[in-house]
Amino acid sequence: MLITGANRGIGLEHTRVLLSRGWHVSAACRDPGKASELKALDPGDGRLTLLEYDAARPGAGKALASAVKGPIDILFANAGMFGPREQGFGQTDYAGMAEIAQVNAFAALELAETFAGQVAQSQLKVIALQSSRMGSIADNTSGGYYAYRMSKAALNAIGKSLSIDLKPKGIITLIFHPGWVKTDMGGAGGTLTVNECVEGQLDLIARANPAMNGRFFHVSGEDLDW
Ligand SMILES: NC(=O)c1ccc[n+]([C@@H]2O[C@H](COP(=O)([O-])OP(=O)(O)OC[C@H]3O[C@@H](n4cnc5c(N)ncnc54)[C@H](OP(=O)(O)O)[C@@H]3O)[C@@H](O)[C@H]2O)c1
């Protein structure tokens, strides 16, 4: 697996669980030097590769190409930010809007463009996008959160096109809402632990099949409206 945002939260738990199952994980994060929890997971047998990656930098995904060789069963674009502090009407931080679009949406497309060939060479052939129900237009009944909602809606649109464009390569693109998860972003009020979220997402990935391609899934397996 190649996963971004691997130093904490949901990405760290994906890395921990897959290493414990014997997988090789390429774990990308902004500052590997400071990623102490991630480094502590290293089984010391070459199965964990740490990669420096800042999703805010266009070109950062392509720059990983030389460091990640061979088939990739799961490409997981997980890194994400909640965005500017103020996201209410009349408070828009437009520079912040541009940054969150890059981090939460454009960076995932760049990863897919860079690694689709290697995903296609693998057994599972899954591209997973860590989206959010807050990107659902149908589910927006409370307004606000312009930056975060826009970035995840854009990610969903990217995921849908990937599912069509990469279908001939046998790649299955899964678009996920992880649930409300107790992480720095989700806060202590989250209803799921990182482990519950990750076990659920890995179950969905394990049964990925063409009928699931391009769908927006709650971690429970329920389909979400766009
Ligand atoms: N928790 C929830 O309830 C929830 C709900 C819906 C969706 N999600 C999505 O799930 C994903 C993971 O979130 P989380 O809950 O695990 O949050 P988290 O604990 O805040 O972790 C966010 C991760 O994304 C990384 N990241 C942020 N900006 C980055 C950048 N510019 N370049 C590279 N990495 C960057 C962070 O790295 P640093 O340590 O360097 O900042 C961190 O590893 C996100 O895409 C989020 O939108 C979470």
Kindly list the domain boundaries of the chain, sorted by start residue. Answer: 2-218
Q: Which residues have CB under 8 Å from 91's CB, separation 6+?
A: none
Torsional class of 122: left (φ above 0), alpha (ψ -120 to 50), beta (otherwise): beta
Q: Which residues pair with 214 in a beta bridge?
A: none
pLDDT tens, position by position, 6-35? 999 999 999 999 999 999 999 999 999 999
User: Which pLDDT tens digit goes with each residue over 166-198?
Assistant: 999 999 999 999 999 999 999 999 999 999 999
Q: Which atom of ligand 1 is least distant from the CA of 7?
A: 43
Sheet of 48-52, strand order: 48-52, 25-29, 2-4, 74-77, 126-130, 172-177, 215-218
Share of the chain above pLDDT 70, in %: 100
Measured CA to CA, the distance from residue 72 to residue 35 in angstroms comes to: 23
Residue 53 scores a pLDDT above 90: yes
Alpha-carbon gap, residue 67 to 221, rounded angstroms: 33
CA–centroid distance, 83 to ligand 1, in Å, is: 11
With a 6 Å cutoff on the Cβ, whether 55 touches ligand 1 is: yes
pLDDT of residue 137: 98
Predicted confidence band of residue 222 (pLDDT cuts 50, 70, 90) = very high
Give me ligand 1 centre to Cα 152, in Å: 12
Mutate to test the pocket of ligand 1, among 8, 38, 41, 198 (most ligand atoms within 8 A of CB): 8
Question: For ligand 1, is residue 126 a contact (CB within 6 Å)?
Answer: no
**How big is the chain, counted in residues?**
226
CATH of domain 2-218: 3.40.50.720
pLDDT in tens, 29-49: 999 999 999 999 999 999 999
Ligand 1 site, residue 163, Cβ cutoff 6 A: no
- Whether 214 has a pLDDT exceeding 90, the answer reads yes
Kindly report the average pLDDT of the chain as a whole number.
98
pLDDT at 85 > cutoff 90: no
